[in-house]
Amino acid sequence: MNPVEDVHASQPVSASKTQYVGHIWSVRTDTVHFGDAEVQRDVIEHPGAVAIAAVDDQDRILLICQYRHPVGAKLWELPAGLLDVAGEHPADTARRELAEETGLRADEWHVLLDIFNSPGGSSEGLRIFLARGISQLPEGRWHTGEAEEMDLPQQWVDLDAARDLVLAGHIHNGTTVAGILAAHAARNQDWTTLRPYDGSWDWRPPSRSSV
């Protein structure tokens, strides 16, 4: 029996055409071969992202509320951000995003979880960090933000209560659902499942350009 473990693999691609280049991501169409079959697959090229499960010394996780236009809703989410600064280590992106979105810093950082948000159509790889040893930055939030990030209400939620909110269908952001459940499970394992914050990320998809 094969082990239940994801493995890297690729099918031959004979052509790739850029259909759209946007502000954050692009869309390409690949011609992919499966034996004698030839199919076309649209791929959203995404720079990747990080999210932060900030847990305080009372085992509460920090959530922020942000308007999300595509789904027409204000969602409770983990602080998060795109990997859109060239050469910036994902852990440094996480520190920066925590400061920018919440005005907080953390003394302890670990990798909690790596996920693909929508691998059927997007190349987005996302790493969720666990941040502990939380304290307030003296200057508060680094930036006031704009548009959706002008006002980001915060709430510290007990991990057990956060898990219950997820299972009851009250929290819908996929990254946040994964982060809450992973943080809850890791806490119940006395945090023994955590990985080093600067560990390798072999599953982060490389950026690609069309051919």
Query: Which residues are designated catalytic?
Result: 149
Q: Would you state the structure tokens that stand for residue 16, as one six-digit string? A: 């790739």
How far is residue 131's CA from residue 133's CA, in Å, rounded to a whole number?
A: 7
* Contacts for 116 with CB less than 8 Å, ≥ 6 apart: 122, 124, 125, 126, 203
Q: Collapse the DSSP code of 117 into the 3-class scheme (helix H, G, I; strand E, B; otherwise coil) and give the result.
A: coil
Per-residue burial over 132-147, b = 16 or more CB atoms within 10 Å of its CB, e = otherwise: bebeeeeeeeeeeeee
CA distances from 160 to 2, 63, 103, 156, 182 (A): 35, 14, 25, 12, 12
- Please report, as a single letter, which amino acid is at residue 38: E
The phi, psi pair for 165, rounded to 5°, reads -65, -40
